[in-house]
């Protein structure tokens, strides 16, 4: 039961290991290094191998937990990669740069250590030229090349070390309130706030990269001016997106404008090409707005309105898998599991590399007893993003098939989540153990009372209520003759300790005490 009892802390394991690694590094590497972008000498506690490994490990989970890659119009991904690669080719640091568009309406962009960069669909619809896109990507390239993201995590890890003993909660994924076990470290990496110096460096050196790559650096000035206006207007999407980690200011605008005068004038603006490439994405913006409203309606249990909105989205942009996945959720909420699975199948066909419809299809098929399909879908979803829901469903399948050891291992993985899915897994773990080894769940001691009768102390060693507990006492007299006695116990609440007077007088006999069975395990 150790796994189940400590489940509320296990969700932080990845971040704890990450943080502790900084202390290990600090003891041997607390020296100076030259920043590859600025040329400045600065203290660095992270190696390039750490950057590359961390970025590679967390890039996919971070993208998956925020909506997956945008695939409805492949030309958009290709275009962003093209512009990003032009800038990466003239950067001050050679890294395995990657550029993706995330299928998320929040206007945002971020960089991970090792050159892993993403821009949200919601930001692309707000830009107006290739030069502005180059400004965004150049800025993020500098964050990665100058180790800003690694240093931000370094600072936060050192600052948070004092609270590690209490555990660190991994927030639910941004997508569908899914318990994303594999996305916690990535969320910490991309949500780290940069200091003013980091932002200034990324602006200036990003403009240098723009100029080297042939773009008009004035695009960066126009971009920042637009952001300031949006901030002043308190645009809610921007406040929760790009502005959270890249706060704009008029000071940044003026600094960028002044720096632009030191660079060669002219260069690619690319307004017409940008509008042409983004035409489908911009035209489909109302469809995604309807989809976002439909998700809110589902949360509010307004399923009729949600169905209308998602159908409106599908009619406008039939190549978007997210829309069909949400339709599947609506069908599932209305208990039409066959219709739900058909919708999830359509979502998977449109985007086979996004975890969510695979997960939901797997859960629905497990509920309907279509085990082979459920296993395929659930395992594929786990390859993209580890979730407690997928582990729980696979655990239920293993338990149904009689593979109790595998079921326990799967439930233990799910219990790493700190939310509702993790708590469900803890209940399943305790239930499994109550059948296979009930004695492990209840601590027993005995003694003789002042009246000479046998007293029992029973302790619930689990975080769940145990009901219908049957205890067995065996008293063996001096001649070796045993006599047995069953002692029922109605329930034990989590960690509860009770004393029971049996009324039996064992005299000088040997006492043996054991748990025979536990009828049920209950939450709370």
CATH number reported for the structural domain that contains residue 491 in this entry: 2.60.40.10
Same domain, 229 and 88: yes
d(CA 173, CA 192): 16
Final residue belonging to a domain, choices 226, 260, 280: 280
Q: Which token pair is 246?
A: 């890249």
Same domain, 165 and 257: yes
User: Using alpha carbons only, what angle is made at residue 434 by residues 433 and 439, rounded to the nearest 5 degrees?
Assistant: 90
Inside any domain, residue 2: no
Average pLDDT over residues 314-325: 98
pLDDT band at 173 (very low <50, low <70, confident <90, very high): very low
The backbone torsions φ and ψ at residue 472, rounded to the nearest 5 degrees and listed phi first, read -125, 130
Inside any domain, residue 8: no
Terminal-to-terminal C-alpha distance of the chain: 16
Final residue belonging to a domain, choices 255, 280, 305: 280
Inside any domain, residue 306: yes
pLDDT band at 25 (very low <50, low <70, confident <90, very high): very low
pLDDT band at 153 (very low <50, low <70, confident <90, very high): low
Q: What is the pLDDT of residue 23?
A: 44
Inside any domain, residue 5: no
Residue with tokens 């580890």: 386
Beta bridge partners of 498: 458
Q: Which DSSP string corresponds to 177-228? A: T--BGGGHHHHHHHTPPPPHHHHHHHHHHHHHHHHHTTB-THHHHHHHHHHH
Asked if 255 contacts 225 with a C-beta cutoff of 8 angstroms, the reply is no
Q: What is the pLDDT of residue 78?
A: 98
Same domain, 432 and 442: no
Tens of pLDDT, residue by residue over 206-239, are 999 999 999 999 999 999 888 888 777 766 666 5
Lowest-pLDDT range of 23-27, 200-204, 223-227, 479-483: 23-27
Q: What is the pLDDT of residue 22?
A: 44
d(CA 270, CA 103): 23
Inside any domain, residue 1: no
Same domain, 413 and 477: no
Same domain, 178 and 257: yes
Q: Which token pair is 480?
A: 């070796």
Task: Provide the sign of the torsion angle of the four alpha carbons 335, 336, 341, 343, taken in this order.
Answer: negative
In total, how many domains does the chain have?
Answer: 3
Final residue belonging to a domain, choices 414, 436, 458: 436
Inside any domain, residue 403: yes
d(CA 126, CA 108): 10
pLDDT band at 156 (very low <50, low <70, confident <90, very high): low
Q: What is the pLDDT of residue 315?
A: 98
Same domain, 458 and 376: no
Give which of 70, 71, 75, 153 is closest to 114, Cα–Cα: 153
Query: Between 482 and 315, whose confidence is greater?
Result: 315
Lowest-pLDDT range of 335-339, 369-373, 509-513: 509-513
Residue 320, domain CATH: 1.25.40.10
Same domain, 221 and 140: yes
Q: Tell me how far CA of residue 507 lies from CA of 336, 351, 477, in angstroms.
A: 65, 73, 8
Tens of pLDDT, residue by residue over 128-143, are 999 999 999 999 999 9
Give which of 66, 324, 100, 294 is closest to 180, Cα–Cα: 66
Q: Which token pair is 220?
A: 């960066």
Same domain, 464 and 381: no
pTM: 0.83
Same domain, 314 and 403: yes
Pairing of strands 116-120, 98-102: parallel
Tens of pLDDT, residue by residue over 81-96, are 999 999 999 999 999 9
Q: Which token pair is 202?
A: 């990324």
Inside any domain, residue 169: yes
Which region, left, alpha or beta, applies to residue 236 given φ > 0 means left and ψ of -120 to 50 means alpha? Answer: alpha
Tens of pLDDT, residue by residue over 387-429, are 999 999 999 999 999 999 999 999 999 998 888 899 999 999 9
Residues 298-307: contacts with CB under 8 Å, at least 24 apart: 298/326, 298/329, 298/330, 298/333, 301/333, 303/330, 303/333, 303/334, 306/330
Inside any domain, residue 3: no
Average pLDDT over residues 260-280: 95
Percent over 70 (pLDDT), the chain: 83
Task: Provide the sign of the torsion angle of the four alpha carbons 301, 305, 309, 311, taken in this order.
Answer: positive
Same domain, 447 and 429: no
pLDDT band at 278 (very low <50, low <70, confident <90, very high): very high
Same domain, 203 and 132: yes
Same domain, 240 and 327: no
Parent domain of 454: 438-522
């Amino acid at each position: 039961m150790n796994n189940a009892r400590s489940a509320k802390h296990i969700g932080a394991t990845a971040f704890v290991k990450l943080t502790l690694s900084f202390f290990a590094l600090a003891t041997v590497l607390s020296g100076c290094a030259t920043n590859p972008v600025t040329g400045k000498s600065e203290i660095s506690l992270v190696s390039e191998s750490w950057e590359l490994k961390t970025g590679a490990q967390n890039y996919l989970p971070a993208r998956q937990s925020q909506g997956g890659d945008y695939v409805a119009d492949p030309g958009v991904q290709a275009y962003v990669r093209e512009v990003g690669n032009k800038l990466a080719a003239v950067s001050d640091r050679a890294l395995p740069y990657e550029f993706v568009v995330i299928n998320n309406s929040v206007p945002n962009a971020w960089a991970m250590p090792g050159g892993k960069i993403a821009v949200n669909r919601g930001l692309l619809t707000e830009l107006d030229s290739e030069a502005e896109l180059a400004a965004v990507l150049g800025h993020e390239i500098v964050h990665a090349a100058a180790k800003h993201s690694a240093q931000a995590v370094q600072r936060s890890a050192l600052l948070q070390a004092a609270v590690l003993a209490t555990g660190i909660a991994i927030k639910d994924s941004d997508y569908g309130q899914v318990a994303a076990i594999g996305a916690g470290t990535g969320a910490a990496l991309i949500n780290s706030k940069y200091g003013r110096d980091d932002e200034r460096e990324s602006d200036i050196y990003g403009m240098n990269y723009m100029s080297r790559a042939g773009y008009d650096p004035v695009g960066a000035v126009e971009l920042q001016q637009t952001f300031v206006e949006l901030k002043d207007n308190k645009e809610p999407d921007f406040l929760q997106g790009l502005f959270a980690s890249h706060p704009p200011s008029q000071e940044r605008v003026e600094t960028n404008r002044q720096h632009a005068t030191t660079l060669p004038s002219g260069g690619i603006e690319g307004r017409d090409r940008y509008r042409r490439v983004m035409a489908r994405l911009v035209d489909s913006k109302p469809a995604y707005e309807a989809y976002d409203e439909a998700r809110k309606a589902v949360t509010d249990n307004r399923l009729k309105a949600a169905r209308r909105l998602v159908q409106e989205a599908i009619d406008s942009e039939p190549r978007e898998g997210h829309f069909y996945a949400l339709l599947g959720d609506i069908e599932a909420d209305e208990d039409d599991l066959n219709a739900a699975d058909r919708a999830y199948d359509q979502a998977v066909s449109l985007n086979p590399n996004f975890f969510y419809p695979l997960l939901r299809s797997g859960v629905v098929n497990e509920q309907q007893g279509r085990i082979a399909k459920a296993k395929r879908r659930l395992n594929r979803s786990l390859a993209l993003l580890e979730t407690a829901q997928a582990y729980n469903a696979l655990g239920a399948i293993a338990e149904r098939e009689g593979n109790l050891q595998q079921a326990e291992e799967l439930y233990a993985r799910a219990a790493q989540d700190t939310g509702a899915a993790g708590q469900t897994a803890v209940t399943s773990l305790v239930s499994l153990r109550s059948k296979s080894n009930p004695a492990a769940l209840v601590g027993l001691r005995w003694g003789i009372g002042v009246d000479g009768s046998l007293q029992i102390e029973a302790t619930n060693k689990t975080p769940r209520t145990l009901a219908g507990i049957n205890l067995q006492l065996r008293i063996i007299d001096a001649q070796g003759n045993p006599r047995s006695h069953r002692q029922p116990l109605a329930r034990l609440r989590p960690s509860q300790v009770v004393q029971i007077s049996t009324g039996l007088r064992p005299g000088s006999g040997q006492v043996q005490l054991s748990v025979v069975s536990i009828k049920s395990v209950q939450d709370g």
